[in-house]
Structure 1
């Protein structure tokens, strides 16, 4: 059975309490943490359990929500995707994605992004999606360019970690740009 949230490789779904183990595994890779966020101190298994349990019962706030990315070939969580800064008046939102180091380069991220954008543009009437990527994250820069995002600017020396400041590249994609490259779906 196919649903709106299922592609050829992944399914986007709500976070479940048992996802805590995958989150803990993903955070075990310092380079992975730094590619999308900053390095965090170690946390207890219990803190991962509590956080996953809280997210499993959390209701979305407007159009801001978090979803797990589940691989269809095995059914395990391989990452997460979320929307934030959703502004229905202006018609724009931002999103973030993370795929575990062991699951990268398999097309999971690109498919998850397309599924999410299809929903936000085609069902929620948003006009523009924005994304921020660290300038050193070549894989994420390439992903966004391949999906059709346009580089709109660079925030110089914007974030500090690993002993120095790093640039952040800002990307944007409008609904018409998305529809030109990717289907908005069918009834």
Structure 2
């Protein structure tokens, strides 16, 4: 898998030494409250090791990158295509910035822009999609700035922090992305 370089970050392959920084966020309530219910209970070491092993061996359904510092290659987070439907050319995106001190620096937005470019121009996907909780305003802004549009809202689908929240379904088509490139939008 190629390495991709942006202005603030690089996207690189997973490595064995990524386990330690991954373990720091998988049980951090401030990080996982924005993620799927696979993090509802404490995430055991074995599950993290299994995920990383599958990514290293290429046996996971996910394909993706570690978001890293371009100079030190230190782990910042990860951005993955969690499911790829090759027949219909659709990829489902998952992204996490693994520490509160790295939030709000534009790393996630740049990583998403880089993954979108890779998915459309290298993998020849036609559609990218993701789901986000309605209270995750920072992520919603980032996704919109990358061209994703709200396509639907699953009302009160998830129970989070003592209340039901909406899950927003967002998507981006290759044709929309190309049009935005041409118009500078």
| TM-score w.r.t. length of structure 1 | 0.84
Q: Distance in 1 between matches of 2:111 and 2:47?
A: 23
Gaps of 5+ in 1: none
Gaps of 5+ in 2: none
Corresponding residue for residue 25 of structure 2: 26
Instruction: Answer whether contact 1:94 1:130 (CA < 8 A) is retained.
Output: yes
Q: Which runs of 4+ in 1 moved over 4 A?
A: none
User: Residue deviations 1:44-83, cap 9 Å, x none?
Assistant: 5x53773365145321567x41321102254311101111
Corresponding residue for residue 121 of structure 2: 122
Q: Distance in 1 between matches of 2:28 and 2:3?
A: 32
CA distance 1:158–1:177, change in 2 (3 Å): same
Q: Does 1:81 align with 2:79?
A: yes
CA distance 1:7–1:162, change in 2 (3 Å): same
CA distance 1:61–1:51, change in 2 (3 Å): closer
Instruction: Answer whether contact 1:11 1:71 (CA < 8 A) is retained.
Output: yes
Q: Distance in 2 between matches of 1:92 and 1:48?
A: 27
Listed as ranges, the matches of 1:1-187 within 5 Å are: 5-38=4-37, 39-43=39-43, 46-47=45-46, 50-51=49-50, 53-59=52-58, 64-100=62-98, 101-182=100-181
CA distance 1:4–1:52, change in 2 (3 Å): closer
| TM-score w.r.t. length of structure 2 | 0.85
